[in-house]
């Protein structure tokens, strides 16, 4: 089960929503996810720490800051790299390392440039029930 305490500090995310997310993942993949939400958050956090170590005011002329267009350009380049890795290399490991980097770049973009909060209404949550697997 996903630990909802760390999903979001916003009260919109409740145990019910986390349970629905978990069931949706199970329904789409046919099995439990390999990592919990909290584990994935830690993986991305580790990548962000690495990025901050590598690209900061002491190591780059940009001071490690970029606008949204620059982040999207970096992310697109890494997406192309991940596609190349998954289609021409053995296994997913290399591509998943690149996905970790892409995800952390998205976090960095939102840290530096902001991001609108996704509003989740009760109606949206109820509508999601229509496609969740029934047990």
- DSSP for 93-130 reads HHHHHHHHHHHHHHHHHHHHH--PPPP--HHHHHHHTT
At 1 the pLDDT is: 41
Does residue 14 form part of some domain? Answer: yes
| Rounded Cα distance, 101 and 2, in Å | 23
Q: How many domains does the chain have?
A: 1
- Give the predicted TM-score (pTM) of the model: 0.69
Does residue 42 form part of some domain? Answer: yes
Does residue 133 form part of some domain? Answer: no
Does residue 134 form part of some domain? Answer: no
At 68 the pLDDT is: 97
Does residue 135 form part of some domain? Answer: no
Does residue 96 form part of some domain? Answer: yes
At 80 the pLDDT is: 96
3-state secondary structure of 69: helix
Instruction: Going from the first residue of the chain to its last (135 residues), give the mean pLDDT of each consecutive group of 10, the final group possibly shorter.
Output: 42 56 62 78 96 93 94 97 90 92 98 92 78 54
What range defines the domain where residue 113 resides?
4-128
Does residue 110 form part of some domain? Answer: yes
């Amino acid at each position: 089960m996903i630990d909802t305490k760390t999903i979001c500090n916003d009260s919109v995310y409740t145990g019910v929503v986390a349970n629905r997310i978990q069931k949706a993942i199970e329904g789409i993949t046919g099995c439990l996810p390999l990592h919990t939400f909290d584990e994935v958050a830690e993986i991305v956090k580790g990548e962000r720490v690495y990025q901050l170590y590598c690209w900061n005011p002491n190591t780059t002329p940009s001071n490690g800051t970029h606008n949204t267009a620059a982040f999207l350009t970096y992310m697109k380049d890494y997406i192309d790299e991940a596609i190349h890795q998954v289609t021409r290399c053995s296994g997913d490991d290399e591509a998943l390392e690149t996905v970790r980097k892409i995800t952390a770049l998205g976090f960095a973009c939102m840290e530096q440039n902001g991001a609108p909060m996704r509003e989740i209404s009760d109606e949206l949550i109820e509508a999601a029930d229509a496609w969740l697997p029934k047990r």
